[in-house]
Structures are given as C-alpha cells and as structure tokens.
Amino acid sequence: MVENVNRQDEFWRKTPIWADTSAKDFLSYRWSVANTVQGTSKLVKFLSAVLPENVPFDNSGSRTQTREELIQDVLDGVTTATMAIRITPYILSRINWEAPRTDPLFRQFLPVRSIMIPDHPNVTLDSLHEEADSPVKGLVHRYPDKALFLPTSVCPTYCMFCTRSYAVGADTDTVTKASLKPTRKRWDEALAHIASQPQLHDIVVSGGDSYYLAPEHLVQIGERLIAMPNIRRFRFASKGLAVAPSRIMDRSDGWVDALIHVSDLARKAGKAMALHTHFNHPNEISWVTRLAGRKLLEAGVTVRNQTVLLRGVNDDVETMSTLIRELADNNIYPYYVYQCDMVKKVEHLRTPLQTILDLEAQIRGSIAGFMMPQFVVDLPGGGGKRLACSFRSYDRETGVSTYLAPAVKGRGKADRVYEYYDPVQ
Ligand code: SF4
C-alpha cells in the first residue's frame, strides 16, 4: 500500500514488541485492528513487554518506580476511569516507552491512579446534558439549525476525557453506559427526525466514531442526508486520522473510498461534506498522517480538526502553536480548541479558563486568520459552544466564569446563565 518505506521511517520499530514488524503489516488496517490493545489483560501484556524495568518519574530520571509498580498504578486507574481501554498500535507506537510518565500521549490515553485528583463537586457524567437535549435516542438537537447524530458508540481509541463518557465504549467499573447501539430502527428514527425539521441544515455524524461505521453504512447515511432538501451541510466526525491514519491509504479497506464517494455526491448536489478529526498533540502527526492528509486533499475532502486543551499535554504556547501549524501545513483546518469539559475523573487534565485565554492571546497573529482555531468553552448544561473570551464574568479567585447563550433556545435556555468551574486544585 505504501511503497518504498525507508527503514528509518519505521518509527514503530522503537516499540520493543514491534521491532520486527514490517511496514506492510504495521500499515495494514486489518493488522492495526488485530493488534489494538483492548481491555485490561491485553493492556497488562502490552505494558509488561514495552516498559523498562525502572520507569523514571520525570525528565531528570532521578526518581524511578518499577515496571510492576507502574502497571499496578495504571490498573488502579482503570478501575476508577469512566472510559474503557482501547488504544491503536499507531498511538502506542508514538509513545516514548523509556519515559512514559512524561509522554503527552500516554497521559491522554492511559489512566494513572496516582496522578488523578478528586473531581470538582460540579462535574457530571453527561456535562453537556446531551441526553436531555435528545428528542430521539442518539440525536442531540440543541442548536436551531444543527443536530448531532450518534449512530455508533464505538471508537478506534478511547480518550479518558471523552465528553460522551456516559455512552461511548464498554461499561467500566464506575459507569454503565447508555446504550447507543447501531440499530436500523434507531437510525431510522433519528434520520426521520432530521428530515422532519425544516430548520435543520447542518448535521454532525459522530458517535463514537465514524471510523466504526461500515463503508456501506457511511454511504447510506450520506446519501440519505444528501437527499433531504433541508440539509445543506454535514460532517463525519472521526479520530481515525489521528489514531490509525494508515487506513486512509489502505487499498484493501473500503472506508476512505466510501467517504470520498459521499464527498463527491454531496458536492454534485451542491452540498458540503467534511471530515472532522481530533488531534491534541504534534507527536500524533507522522509521515503516515501527512500521506493520509495529502490523499484526502487530492480527493477534495475538507478536513477540520477539534483539539481538547489538556493539562500537561498541550497547555503551553509552544506545543499548541506547533500543533496548529502542523495541522495547517497538512491542510487540516484547526477549527476548535476546546476547554476540557467538566466530566468525571479527568480533573488532573483540566486547566483553568485563564490558560485558554492566555493561549489564544499568545497565538493569535502568528498564523493566517483562517487557520486560527476558535478557542471555546462548550457550556456545561447544554448552552453550546461559546468563545472562551466571551465570558460575562470570570472570578479568578473562585475560578467561576459565566456565559450567556441567547441563540440556544428551549427548556428556558435563552435567559440562562451558564457557569464553568476551574479545577479545584
Ligand atoms: S474519539 Fe471522540 S467520542 Fe471517541 S472516546 Fe475520544 S473523544 Fe470520545
């Protein structure tokens, strides 16, 4: 699928268990699915194989813990976390296993109990009140002209900070997930609601993740949306480009052909389809990502990115600037940077509002305006996305910021004052 891969390009060989894995295998999506680390027993097996005997706590390396101690710390985190374990080989291969505790990808996808801190008292499982704003199960209709369709609850990799931890992935020790199984009946009801609302013009097809829609289902959903006179735009949301990019070039897999087909159909119908993806750190971008981005560009698929601001991952100007520039250079439009939602068990990853305000102030002007993301807060309680800097008040002592969302109506929302709370510590 990718000819002439240079041996020094084979970054996955640095991960001890893939030292002998060929490019043909590593870049095949079938191999990627078969080698995805899912569930605790596979996780323990993987960590036992890749971790050094002594793991440094920080970059100085002066303090270490044993491999077994870190594995136990992660297992304790798994029993606390709201998201199940599933991580693709691509993401695992981008982690520095010599010093994982300071690695920004390890920090995003692996729960470590000893670094977790107690939740803010106001965090909730479904902080955006998606279930309350769903007239049909799996269809969130919050904005007047836009709705979010959730056809599946499965993703190629699970993020600890997922805003949809109430429904996405397998049950965990702490959360029994709301069922969003991909059934024909549920899809028909959601699509019927979309068709019945003339004011709806814009649909996000997410989940879960569109990477877990079979190619024929991607086409079916795309064709049904295109055929609706009220729908002008739609997007498929998928983290796939960030966590398993080689699938985009894998000729034995039909997903990207289906996506390009729907994009072409939409364009011919005078409508717009886009792929929305989710990169959080420059280390997630490799030559494989660049090739995948190039293929989508040449096929005329618009790709936009949504980043979540995470403490210790991307909350400094240099990292965020590099990420935005890398995305822009690969024709992936940096659309949003989100303040981390007030969801459970990720307090150690949340930042105060001031961090996102400072980042925007520092970065604006360093890149063309149309490549500058909007820095937003998705308001707890279902007020929708607001520019972080548009707060009505922000008390830096108490860490409480308030916002209004006059365009988001329903259930007394138009006059409501929404509050976002900085992390307690
Ligand atoms: S890819 Fe998106 S939906 Fe899936 S776990 Fe991550 S944040 Fe949640």
Whole-angstrom distance, CA of residue 18 vs CA of residue 30 = 16
pLDDT tens digit sequence for 346-394 = 999 999 999 999 999 999 999 999 999 999 999 999 999 999 999 999 9
pLDDT confidence bin for 62, thresholds 50/70/90: confident
Asked if pLDDT for residue 40 goes beyond 70, the answer is yes
Its sign, for the CA torsion 20, 24, 27, 31, is negative
Q: In this predicted structure, what is the pLDDT of residue 425?
A: 72
pLDDT band of residue 308 (cuts 50, 70, 90) is very high
Count of helices and strands (H, E) across the chain: 13, 16
What pLDDT shows up at residue 414?
Answer: 72
Atom 7 of ligand 1 has which residue's CA nearest to it?
Answer: 162
Q: Decide: 385 and 391 in contact? Cβ < 8 Å.
A: no
Q: What angle do CA 328, 329, 331 make, to 5 degrees?
A: 60
Does residue 402 lie within any of the structural domains?
A: no
Q: Name which of 11, 26, 88 is nearest 249 in CA terms.
A: 26
Same domain, 212 and 350: yes
The answer to the question of residue 425 being in a domain is no
The angle, 0 to 180 degrees and rounded to 10, between the axes of the packed helices 255-268 and 287-298 is 30
At 356, give phi and psi (nearest 5°).
Answer: -70, -35
Q: Which residue's structure tokens are 């064709």?
A: 223
The residue behind tokens 């997930």 is 177
56 contacts 38 by C-beta, under 8 angstroms: no
Q: Which domain holds residue 208?
A: 139-378
Q: Is the pLDDT of residue 57 over 90?
A: no
204 within ligand 1 shell (Cβ under 6 A): no
Task: State the pLDDT at residue 8.
Answer: 63
Give the residue, out of 158, 161, 180, 213, with the most ligand 1 atoms within 8 A of its beta carbon, to mutate for a pocket test.
Answer: 158
> Left (φ > 0), alpha (ψ -120 to 50) or beta: where does 105 sit?
alpha
Give me ligand 1 centre to Cα 105, in Å: 14
Question: What is the predicted pLDDT for the residue at 1?
Answer: 60
Kindly state whether residues 185 and 329 are assigned to the same domain.
Answer: yes
157 and 72 in a common domain: no
* Same-domain check for residues 87 and 146: no
Ligand 1 lined by 276 (C-beta under 6 Å): no
- What Cα–Cα distance (Å) separates residue 264 from each residue in 119, 229, 267, 389, 408? 46, 17, 5, 37, 32
**255 and 358 co-located in one domain:** yes
Index of the ligand 1 atom closest to the CA of residue 237 = 2
- CA 343 – ligand 1 centroid, Å: 13
Q: Which of the listed residues 109, 159, 177, 343 should we mutate to test ligand 1's pocket, taking the one with most ligand atoms within 8 A of CB?
A: 159
Last residue of a domain, one of 100, 115, 130: 115
Alpha-carbon span 242 to 288, nearest angstrom: 10
Tell me how far the alpha carbon of residue 307 lies from the centroid of ligand 1, in angstroms. 11
- Please tell me whether residues 92 and 226 are part of one structural domain: no
Nearest-CA residue for ligand 1 atom 3 is: 208
Q: Is 168 in the pocket of ligand 1 (CB under 6 A)?
A: yes
129 assigned to some structural domain: no
Q: Report which ligand 1 atom has the smallest distance to the Cα of 158.
A: 5
Ligand 1: residue whose CA is nearest its atom 8: 162
Q: What are the pLDDT digits (tens) for 408-421?
A: 877 677 789 999 99
Whether 308 is in the pocket of ligand 1, judged by its Cβ within 6 Å, is: no
* Closest to 76 measured CA to CA, from 44, 123, 122: 44
Closest among 356, 293, 291 to 327, alpha carbons compared: 293
Is 364 domain-assigned? yes
Residue 7 is predicted with a pLDDT of: 66
Amino acid at residue number 308:
V
Same structural domain for residues 36 and 170?
no
Residues 80 and 164 in one domain: no
Maximum distance among all Cα pairs of the chain, rounded to whole angstroms: 64
The minimum-distance atom of ligand 1 relative to the CA of 207 is: 3
Work out the mean pLDDT of the chain and round it to a whole number. 95
Residues present in the chain in total: 425
**65 C-alpha vs ligand 1 centroid, how far in Å?**
30
Yes or no: say if 371 and 303 are a contact pair by the CB < 8 Å rule. no
pLDDT higher than threshold 80 for residue 323: yes
Q: Of 115, 147, 165, which residue is a domain's last? A: 115
In a domain? residue 123: no
Confidence of residue 321 (pLDDT cuts 50, 70, 90): very high
Within a domain: 323: yes
Which CATH number does the domain housing residue 158 bear? Answer: 3.20.20.70
The alpha carbon of 109 and the centre of ligand 1 are apart by a number of angstroms equal to 11
DSSP state of 387: E
User: Is 404 inside any structural domain?
Assistant: no
What's the CA gap between 50 and 67, in Å, rounded? 9
156 and 111, same structural domain? Answer: no
Q: Is 162 in the pocket of ligand 1 (CB under 6 A)?
A: yes
Phi, psi of 385 (to 5 degrees): -85, 135
Whole-angstrom Cα distance, residue 266 to residue 10? Answer: 37
Q: Give the number of other CB atoms < 10 A from CB of residue 66.
A: 13
Residues 154, 155, 159: CA angle, nearest 5 degrees: 120
Q: Which residues pair with 401 in a beta bridge?
A: 394, 420
Pair (95, 145) in one structural domain: no
The C-alpha atoms of residue 279 and residue 337 are separated, in whole angstroms, by: 10
* Cα 189 to Cα 138, 185, 237, 314, distances in angstroms: 9, 6, 20, 39
Instruction: Mark which of 378, 393, 417 sits at the end of a domain.
Output: 378
Same-domain check for residues 209 and 309:
yes
Is residue 239 lining ligand 1, measured as CB closer than 6 Å? yes
pLDDT (tens digit, 9 = 90+) per residue, 6-39? 766 999 999 999 999 999 999 999 999 999 999 9
Residue 405 is assigned to a structural domain of this protein = no
> Confidence band (pLDDT; 50, 70, 90) for 58?
confident
How many structural domains does the chain have?
2
Nearest ligand 1 atom to alpha carbon 155: 4
Residues 104 and 144 in one domain: no
Ligand 1: which atom is nearest the Cα of residue 206? Answer: 3
Which segments of 283-357 are extended strands (E)? 302-308, 332-338
* pLDDT, position 216: 97
